[in-house]
């Protein structure tokens, strides 16, 4: 057999073996799974943000799709995520982290425009005890909650020492207004310009 024929047969044999390997069965156990995030098919919303250059971006996590540090000592956190639930429920959870009395209804929240739709503004000041953290005095929170889709909420929250949060407030407001949908087809009907009264 010629050398060329041997090479051709070897190549054919390798190709056939690789095809067989692609048909292997794979068994997934609970140890190989994870919770869904907005990057999975359950969440089809894609949002583009435009943070200030001074904010340092950190890797996202399961509950923090966009994650930033800011401030002179990088002790101000800005986090963006998509969650379930009601606006008031989430607002009162944030207020509870400052030991503040829950609000009776959404009328006590401020208003802000996010993604061309109505958002709700939450503000708090005092001693802050976030998830699993020690109480930190002289802290402030500025947050926004925007209903998107049927059951989802976009949440944007800035927390940090009061003086730094106040200094960065205009940057945060500009950040909220900079957010946009990456695909116009993803804009909920109630947020589309043709449904606006303007």
Output phi, psi for 33, to 5 deg.
Answer: -110, 170
What's the mean pLDDT in 111-122? 93
pLDDT band at 112 (very low <50, low <70, confident <90, very high): very high
In order of 3, 115, 118, 177, the CA distances from 49 in angstroms are 60, 10, 17, 9
pLDDT band at 177 (very low <50, low <70, confident <90, very high): very high
What's the mean pLDDT in 100-117? 94
Query: DSSP string spanning 114-165?
Result: ETTEEEEEEEEEEEE--TT---EEEEEEEEEEEEETTTEEEEEEEEEEHHHH
Give the pLDDT of residue 136. Answer: 95
Output phi, psi for 115, to 5 deg.
Answer: 50, 40
Mean pLDDT of the chain: 81
Task: Provide the 3-class DSSP secondary structure of residue 7.
Answer: helix
Give the pLDDT of residue 169. Answer: 98
CATH class of 47-195: alpha beta
Give the pLDDT of residue 130. Answer: 80
Q: What is the pLDDT of residues 36-72, one digit of tens each?
A: 444 444 444 578 899 999 999 999 887 788 999 999 9
Q: What is the pLDDT of residues 123-166, one digit of tens each?
A: 999 999 987 778 999 999 999 999 987 788 999 999 999 999 99
Give the pLDDT of residue 120. Answer: 97
Give the pLDDT of residue 151. Answer: 82
Give the pLDDT of residue 79. Answer: 96
What's the mean pLDDT in 105-110? 96
Give the pLDDT of residue 194. Answer: 46
pLDDT at residue 76 greater than cutoff 90 = yes
Q: What angle do CA 176, 132, 30 make, to 5 degrees?
A: 90
For the chain, the structural domain boundaries read: 47-195
Considering only residues 192 and 148, tell me which one the structure prediction assigns the higher pLDDT. 148
Q: What's the pTM value of the predicted model, to 2 decimals?
A: 0.71
* Tokens found for residue 139: 């802290």
Give the pLDDT of residue 38. Answer: 44
């Amino acid at each position: 057999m010629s050398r060329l024929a041997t090479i051709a047969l070897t190549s054919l044999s390798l190709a056939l073996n690789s095809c067989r390997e692609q048909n292997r069965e794979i068994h997934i156990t609970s140890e190989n799974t994870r919770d869904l995030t907005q990057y999975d098919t359950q969440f089809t919303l894609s949002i583009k943000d435009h943070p200030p250059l001074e904010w340092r971006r950190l890797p996202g996590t399961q509950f923090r799709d966009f994650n930033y540090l800011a401030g002179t000592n990088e002790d101000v956190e800005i986090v963006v995520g998509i969650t379930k639930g009601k606006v008031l429920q989430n607002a009162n959870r944030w207020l509870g982290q400052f030991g503040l009395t829950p609000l009776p209804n959404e009328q006590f929240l401020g208003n802000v425009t996010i993604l061309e739709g109505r958002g709700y503004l939450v503000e708090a000041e005092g001693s802050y005890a976030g998830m699993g953290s020690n109480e930190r005095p002289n802290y402030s929170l500025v947050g926004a909650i925007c209903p998107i889709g049927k059951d989802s909420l976009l949440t944007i929250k800035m927390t940090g020492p009061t003086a730094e949060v106040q200094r960065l407030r205009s940057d945060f407001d500009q950040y909220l207004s900079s957010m946009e949908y990456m695909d116009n087809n993803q804009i909920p009907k109630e947020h589309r310009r043709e449904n606006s009264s303007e």
